[in-house]
A = this chain, B = another copy of it.
C-alpha cells in the first residue's frame, strides 16, 4: 500500500474531523501507510495558512482548484457546505483524484446524479462521509442480523433528533432558507437512512410529512422572516425486504443533542441503538430462558473490531471522531483495492433518491414509490 497524498477542502466542523482522521489513521491502525497531508484549501489564503499550520498540512491555498492540479494529491476530502459538493467533487474526479465527500451528496437529486455519473466516468473511488455506520457497535448489529440472531427483520423505527433549531428566538439563518435544502430531512435524515441501508437494506415506498415548528424567526436587523425549511420530518416506509418502518426527524427537539435512535424488530429478537450512547447496544433474543429474558446492554470492547485498535480494554469508550478514523482507513483500503465497508456514490445515490421521494411525498401528500427512480434509471 502506498502512502496517499491528501488534499482537504474546508476546515469547519467536518473538515477538522477529516483532518484529525488523516492524522490519526496510521498510528491507530498501524496497517496503513501514514498519509502525506499535502494541501489544504479554505475560503482565503490567510485562513488556509493558519489552518494548515494547526492541522499539519504542508501547503495552503485560498483556491481549492489548486489542489486538483497538485500531482502529489491522490485524495480530496470535501467538507464544505452541501451546495459546493457537486462542483468540487466532479472537478476532483475529473482531475483524477479520489474523493471523500461529506454527506449528503448535494442539495438536489439532479446534482447528486451528476456526481454519480462523474464518479462512474472517472473510475476513481468516490466515498461519502457516513461515519455512523463505522461504529463497532453498528458493525456488531450487522453481524447479529447476518447471523440471524433476531430472525427475519419485520419492523424498523429510526429517529434522529437534535435541538440546534429548537430555540424559537434564535435569528433566522441560512438553515431556514429553502436554498439549504428541505430541512431536517436532508440535513441529517440521511444519517439514519445510511444506517438503514447498511443494516436492513433499501426503501421501496415512502409517505412523508414535513412540519415547521416555528412559522417565522426574528431577523438580526429587526422584523421577522418566514421559515422556508422544515425542521421536522416524519415518514412511513415499506422496505425492500418487506419490513415496515418509521423514520422521524426533528432538529428542533429540545434536549436531544445527537440522538439517533434505531429500533430493529425481528422474528426472534430485537436490537436497539442510541447514538447518544454510542458505545452501547441493546439486544433482546427470544431464546433466553423465559424468566431471564431482557434487553442486554452490550458495551463496546475489543471483541467488536476495530475497537481494539483504539483501546485494548472494553467499556472505555470510543468518541465521535474515532468513527471518522475508522472510515478513513476503510477509504485507504478501498483505494488500495481491498474490501471495504463504505458508502460510495453508487450506494449514496439511493439514499438521495429516498430523500427526494420523501420530500415529494410530503409535498404531494401521498405515497411515493422510491424504486421507480431506480427502475427509471435502469431503463
16 contacts between A and B (CB under 8 A): A16-B27, A19-B27, A155-B211, A155-B213, A164-B313, A168-B267, A213-B267, A254-B269, A255-B270, A255-B272, A258-B317, A276-B279, A288-B296, A294-B297, A317-B320, A319-B320
Number of interface residues of A (CB under 8 A): 101
> Using a CB–CB distance below 8 Å, which chain A residues touch chain B?
12-13, 16-17, 19-20, 23-24, 26-28, 30, 34, 54-56, 140, 143-144, 149-151, 154-155, 157, 159, 162, 164, 166-168, 207, 209, 211, 213-214, 232, 234-236, 238, 243-246, 248, 250, 252-259, 263, 265-270, 272, 276-279, 281, 283-284, 286, 288, 290-299, 301, 303-304, 310-322, 365-367
Q: Which of B34, B159, B162, B267 contacts A214 (CB 8 A)?
A: B267
The residues of B that contact A290 with a CB separation of less than 8 Å are 303
The residues of B that contact A209 with a CB separation of less than 8 Å are 207, 236, 238, 244
Interface of A is mostly: mixed
| Contact between B30 and A286, CB atoms less than 8 A apart | no
10 closest Cβ pairs, A-B complex:
A257-B315, A319-B319, A255-B284, A258-B315, A296-B296, A30-B54, A211-B244, A154-B213, A294-B298, A294-B296
Copy tally for this chain in the complex stands at 4
| Contact between B295 and A255, CB atoms less than 8 A apart | yes
Which chain B residue has the least Cβ–Cβ distance from A367? B365
| Contact between A20 and B24, CB atoms less than 8 A apart | yes
The residues of B that contact A311 with a CB separation of less than 8 Å are 13, 17, 319-321
Given contacts A149-B292, A258-B313, A365-B366, 5 further A-B contacts (CB under 8 A): A23-B23, A30-B55, A255-B294, A290-B303, A310-B321
The residues of B that contact A164 with a CB separation of less than 8 Å are 313
Q: Which of B254, B259, B269, B365 contacts A286 (CB 8 A)?
A: B254
Q: A375 to chain B: closest CB distance in Å?
A: 20
Q: Given A213-B155, A257-B301, verify A27-B13 contact (CB < 8 Å).
A: no
Which chain B residue has the least Cβ–Cβ distance from A34? B56
User: Could you tell me the distance between the alpha carbons of A1 and B265 in the complex, rounded to whole angstroms?
Assistant: 48
User: Could you tell me the distance between the alpha carbons of A367 and B207 in the complex, rounded to whole angstroms?
Assistant: 10
Of A149, A244, A255, A320, the most chain B CB neighbours within 10 A belong to A255
| Contact between B258 and A314, CB atoms less than 8 A apart | yes
| Contact between A252 and B234, CB atoms less than 8 A apart | no
Q: A243 to chain B: closest CB distance in Å?
A: 8
The residues of B that contact A28 with a CB separation of less than 8 Å are 20
Q: A289 to chain B: closest CB distance in Å?
A: 9
User: Could you tell me the distance between the alpha carbons of A322 and B320 in the complex, rounded to whole angstroms?
Assistant: 10
Which chain B residue has the least Cβ–Cβ distance from A20? B27
| Contact between B316 and A257, CB atoms less than 8 A apart | yes
Which chain B residue has the least Cβ–Cβ distance from A16? B27
User: Could you tell me the distance between the alpha carbons of A150 and B294 in the complex, rounded to whole angstroms?
Assistant: 16
The residues of B that contact A245 with a CB separation of less than 8 Å are 234
User: Could you tell me the distance between the alpha carbons of A290 and B304 in the complex, rounded to whole angstroms?
Assistant: 10
User: Could you tell me the distance between the alpha carbons of A149 and B254 in the complex, rounded to whole angstroms?
Assistant: 12
Q: A29 to chain B: closest CB distance in Å?
A: 8
The residues of B that contact A13 with a CB separation of less than 8 Å are 311-313
| Contact between B154 and A252, CB atoms less than 8 A apart | yes
| Contact between A298 and B303, CB atoms less than 8 A apart | no
Q: Given A162-B313, A317-B258, verify A167-B270 contact (CB < 8 Å).
A: no
